[in-house]
Amino acid sequence: MNSPKLQPFECGSADHFSRRNLLKAAGLSGMSWLTPMADILATEADLAKNKFVPAKSIIILWMAGGPSQLDTFDPHPGKKIAADTKAIETSKKGVFFNENLPQTAELMDDISLVRSVVSREGDHERAAYNIRTGYRPDPTVLHPSVGSIICHEMPNANIDIPTHISMMSGQQGSRGGYLGANFDPFKIGDPQNPVPDMESYLDEEREKSRVAGLSVVERAFARGRSGDLEKERTLHQASIAKARRMMTSEQLSAFDISDVSKVEKEAFGDTPFGRGCLAAVRLVEAGVRCVEVTLDGWDSHIDNTNLQSNKTKVLDPAFASLIKKLKARGLLDSTIVLCGGEFGRTPTLNPVEGRDHWPHGFTMAMAGGGIKGGRVIGETDPEGAKKDPAGKVFVQDIHATIQDAFGIEYEKKVMTPVDRPIALSDGYPIDELLL
């Protein structure tokens, strides 16, 4: 049966009045309402320069297993906790990346880092749920992922293919949660392979006959439930119609990277992950709201340095080429790119040269879609002794920031199918990151 329609409940707390909220309000109502307090937050020139333009899409680079902050975006060169890893300076003076991220390091002016993300979940499955949804697991409710929320709040009627897509996510992944299965991502594997089940194995006449026979059954089912056959549409009918539109849509070509040159594929690394990032650009260009591309295998309890090194060598060309390609297509300003995993790794090596789970201060990288570039938020302890990083940022604050960049009222509450009001996010936007 259809998921119950979710209704807005009410806006959340009014005591968080951010600079972004001011900018949005000013864009709607002009400057006449400005008060002395508002003048402190923003000048007329600042408001004119920072006209709010919401993001339209998000590409999530999901580093499954928990990437080490020390082996990626927060290396602490020369310190004991860095072990035997080396670092390189980025295009932003004084900001360093791991040496295996040279291409991405050149783009630091477009990228911002939140180096002080903290979570209260240290188990893979629970932590992944927390990062994907902004909420900790709760046995009484299944929360939607950030992509599901964006698709729910920003529907796109002009697209025949799914607006929420997940590549190489395996059994686990994002979910529509209480928003309903309609907001689950459409899952595919390596985009070098065709999207499965997009061509009928029947000849045209036989397929028409089967669809006609199915319609007879559907009408009989509807007649038993209501006298209004037009209104009594089953979810099965809607799913069939949606699938048939997708199978015959020209937009299906957005998944196809077979016409991309070898040179361009190699720029992304020509790995499953790199090809996923390449396809993500085409999908966003077609109107897809959220694309999640997974790079698995970051769980480095043993031989951390070599394992993380192998993964960063895959990440670097894909991440850098993704930013460059989005910028070249004029899509970066409307597309957020988020890169991270479920937690970080311990500052100290264990007896088998591995790094264990560390939710007490790790890095999320962000770019595009109204996110300022060249910013570094927070700082982890260079000696590795303190669990709480300076400028601590909670997982839910990342979600509120993303939703705010989309122009989504992150404090808005919706009624779940069991009439429980839940806010889209219970965090606060990181104003330093927002244009």
Tell me: do 310 and 244 sit in the same domain. Answer: no
Q: What is the mean pLDDT of residues 40-46?
A: 50
pLDDT attached to residue 30? 46
Tell me: do 250 and 324 sit in the same domain. Answer: no
Residue where a domain terminates, one of 231, 255, 279: 255
Residue 240 has pLDDT above 90, yes or no: no
Tell me: do 80 and 200 sit in the same domain. Answer: no
The pLDDT > 70 percentage for the chain reads 78
34 found inside a domain: no
Q: What is the mean pLDDT of residues 128-150?
A: 97
DSSP classification of residue 404: H
228 found inside a domain: yes
Residue 28 has pLDDT above 50, yes or no: no
> Which comes out higher in pLDDT, residue 208 or 101?
101
SS3 380: coil
The pLDDT > 90 percentage for the chain reads 71
Instruction: Give pLDDT tens digits for 140-159.
Output: 999 999 999 999 999 988 89
Task: Give yes or no for a contact between 418 and 12, defined as CB atoms under 8 angstroms apart.
Answer: no
Tell me: do 152 and 208 sit in the same domain. Answer: no
Q: What is the mean pLDDT of residues 334-341?
A: 98
Can you give the pTM of this predicted structure?
A: 0.86
Q: How far is CA 117 from the centre of its chain?
A: 16
Range of the domain at 239: 195-255
How far apart CA 274 and CA 276 sit, in angstroms, is: 5
pLDDT attached to residue 172? 74
- Kindly indicate the confidence band of residue 229, based on its pLDDT and cuts at 50, 70 and 90: very low
Residue 201 has pLDDT above 80, yes or no: no
Residue 16: name the closest of 411, 414, 432 by CA.
411
pLDDT attached to residue 33? 46
How far apart CA 194 and CA 165 sit, in angstroms, is: 15
pLDDT attached to residue 14? 38
38 found inside a domain: no
Tell me: do 250 and 398 sit in the same domain. Answer: no
Name the amino acid, one letter, at 145: S
Beta bridge partners, 339, equal 61, 365
Q: In angstroms, what is the C-alpha Rg of the chain?
A: 23
> Which comes out higher in pLDDT, residue 65 or 240?
65
Angle between helices 272-286 and 304-328 (to 10 degrees): 30
Instruction: Give pLDDT tens digits for 275-304.
Output: 999 999 999 999 999 999 999 999 999 999
For the domain that residue 110 is a member of, what is the CATH number?
A: 3.40.720.10
Q: How far is CA 206 from the centre of its chain?
A: 41
Residue 364: name the closest of 391, 335, 398, 330 by CA.
398
**Mean predicted lDDT score pLDDT of the chain:** 86
Residue 409 has pLDDT above 80, yes or no: yes
Residue where a domain terminates, one of 255, 279, 304: 255
7 found inside a domain: no
Beta bridge partners, 192, equal none
Q: What is the dihedral of CA 408, 413, 416, 419, to 10 degrees?
A: -160
421 found inside a domain: yes
Instruction: Give pLDDT tens digits for 212-223.
Output: 676 666 666 666
Tell me: do 293 and 404 sit in the same domain. Answer: yes
Q: How far is CA 250 from the centre of its chain?
A: 26
The tally of domains found in the chain comes to 2
Per residue, the 3-state secondary structure of 286-303, as one string, reads: HCCCEEEEEECCCCCCCC
Tell me: do 175 and 207 sit in the same domain. Answer: no
343 found inside a domain: yes
Residue 282: name the closest of 262, 259, 266 by CA.
259
141 found inside a domain: yes
Residue where a domain terminates, one of 225, 255, 285: 255
3 found inside a domain: no
Residue 195 has pLDDT above 90, yes or no: no
Tell me: do 176 and 202 sit in the same domain. Answer: no
Tell me: do 188 and 292 sit in the same domain. Answer: yes
Tell me: do 230 and 308 sit in the same domain. Answer: no
Tell me: do 308 and 340 sit in the same domain. Answer: yes
Q: How far is CA 147 from the centre of its chain?
A: 6
- The CB-side HSE value for 1 (13 A sphere, CA atoms) comes to 6
Tell me: do 231 and 366 sit in the same domain. Answer: no
DSSP classification of residue 268: T
